[in-house]
A and B are shown apart, each in its own frame.
Chain A
């Protein structure tokens, strides 16, 4: 067995274990962290296929950004695990049916001769043939052949982002926000008032004596 095959089986074992634990872990934070492990291991698989751009993008986007925010939310929610598990066996048949249908679809796609998956060359082979890197090949494809789809995806993401901001933005009346520009421009004479007063003199010694007696 070659070195790559050994790595492939080790990574696959970790990936399956992590995927299984995402579903079965009792604590939602643990489940989210197992999902991070699953993403990381999947990127290892892509590295084995010499698709280094996709592998690094998976880590950068999903592990570095999406899952951090996801974990952020999961930690702050007070999730009642018992309540979530109540209807498990009642809903199991429907869920199993959906899972089986999805599985069958994936198997059909991957095994059908029309998909030509068996004669697709690895991206690395194409890259080596032309002596250019994986990243350049992908970039060229994205900005020439698939430009329209790429830009459509970008516009959809932009609209989603604007919508998300639009939903959450609201003016709070109790906000104590101060414009930092105003804060920076402030001068000492706006805040401090120097009051000139004539020095007062003690009238006579009797005052202090009477004070002492009162004390």
Chain B
């Protein structure tokens, strides 16, 4: 950074340095997205006693590249009577929040692009904008199927955002900070001595489950994928998109999955803290590896859900969001507040 600042002057050097850091986050993220699609096909394949893609490259490892090239070569079709500007803007609106949220995600104590105090709020605000990509895509395509998909999806996302927000209120209460770095560091202390049992998932167990399931619903993944229920409304909101425009929705969905996995790991699973005691040497040291391991575990659950559960009916989704999750979180927050005031509190 000093080198850049001496070459380009202080402000320009800072800008270039920040751009490099952004690149260092986005490039691995995109590779992660590409290989998550392969992992999904492989994992679900083995769960259904198939092999999955194994033709392109050794053991099918080059399959994502082949898919990418195929999508790049395809023509982007603009439907007649579509709202052209909005039609092309929708994929951008969809991927922007999925990438922008990474600005405040910490990878360890110091590795974070912007260590701001209100980072939890920032995450909630940015992820709540993802729904515009879906709505605009559904409306601009001038198709009944995509419009129905957009309506379903927007109602679903807005409903589950509430439960998700309430679950995060619990995390916020125990860590008394909106800063993600502080939230992780707080989990390293407590009555269980900062081991795996003092992470938020155990004391806040109901909120953890609500957050994880709402995360699946927010990203429109199975079993909450009515927005793109291919057996009822062909492919939902992106039915009119082809080629790279479609691929961007696809990238956004998988980037959102990785984001939700990262957030779950940070809020509830102790982020970069090691699950083993510090006396275990290298295994007990905290580091970015542990964050990646936890994210992979959560992502595996996402794929596992898809292979296991049948799709929810629409009214069941709404019932689960409004009549089960929101009361559960409200009661949990009340109980948590009383617990924190009582002498038995773990968070002094």
Q: Enumerate chain A interface residues (CB-CB to B < 8 A).
A: 3, 27, 29-30, 33, 36, 52-53, 56-57, 59-60, 63-65, 68-69, 71-72, 75-76, 133-135, 177, 180
Contact = CB atoms under 8 A, between A and B. Distances in A.
B117 A72 contact: no
Contacts, number: 73
Interface of B: 11, 83, 86, 116-118, 121-122, 124-126, 128-129, 131-132, 135-136, 139, 147, 151, 154-155, 157-158, 161, 178, 315-316, 319
Contacts of A135: 117-118, 121, 178
B128 A65 contact: yes
- Listed from nearest, the 6 A-B pairs whose CB atoms lie closest are A64-B128, A59-B125, A133-B117, A60-B125, A56-B121, A56-B125
B158 A68 contact: yes
Contact of B131 (A3, A68, A133): A68
Given A3-B11, A53-B121, 15 more contacts: A30-B86, A33-B86, A52-B116, A52-B118, A53-B118, A56-B125, A57-B121, A59-B129, A63-B125, A64-B124, A64-B128, A68-B135, A71-B135, A71-B154, A75-B151
Interface centre among B125, B129, B158, B319 (most CB of A within 10 A): B125
A60 B316 contact: no
B135 A134 contact: no
B117 A134 contact: yes
A56 B129 contact: no
The secondary-structure label for the interface of chain A is: helix
B172 to A, nearest CB: 10
Given A33-B86, A36-B132, A180-B319, A56 B154 contact: no
A60 B86 contact: no
A29 B155 CA distance: 17
Nearest to B155: A72
Nearest to A40: B129
Contacts of A60: 121, 124-125, 128
A21 to B, nearest CB: 12
Contacts of B83: 27, 29-30
A143 to B, nearest CB: 14
A172 to B, nearest CB: 12
Contacts of B126: 59
Given A72-B135, A75-B147, A63 B118 contact: no
